[in-house]
Amino acid sequence: EPPPPPPRRRASAPHGPLDVAPFARLHECYGQEIRALRGQWLSSRVQP
């Protein structure tokens, strides 16, 4: 018998709509960070 699924996080967290506003900015910053890390990783891969 499989274990019960983990409890789901509710979309309406106790924090309210305050967390929703900066999400787009957060996502953008995350994307920039990923691009930078990916660039570093690729350049470090080229050189042994």
Alpha-carbon gap, residue 37 to 29, rounded angstroms: 12
Provide the pLDDT for residue 41. Answer: 92
Q: Is the pTM of this model over 0.85?
A: no
One-letter amino acid at 27 equals H
Note the helical H segments in the chain: 23-46
Alpha-carbon gap, residue 41 to 48, rounded angstroms: 12
The domain limits of the chain are: 22-47
User: What are the tens digits of pLDDT across the range 19-44?
Assistant: 555 777 888 888 899 999 999 999 99
Provide the pLDDT for residue 26. Answer: 80
Q: Is the pLDDT of residue 16 over 60?
A: no
For the chain, count helices (H), then strands (E): 1, 0
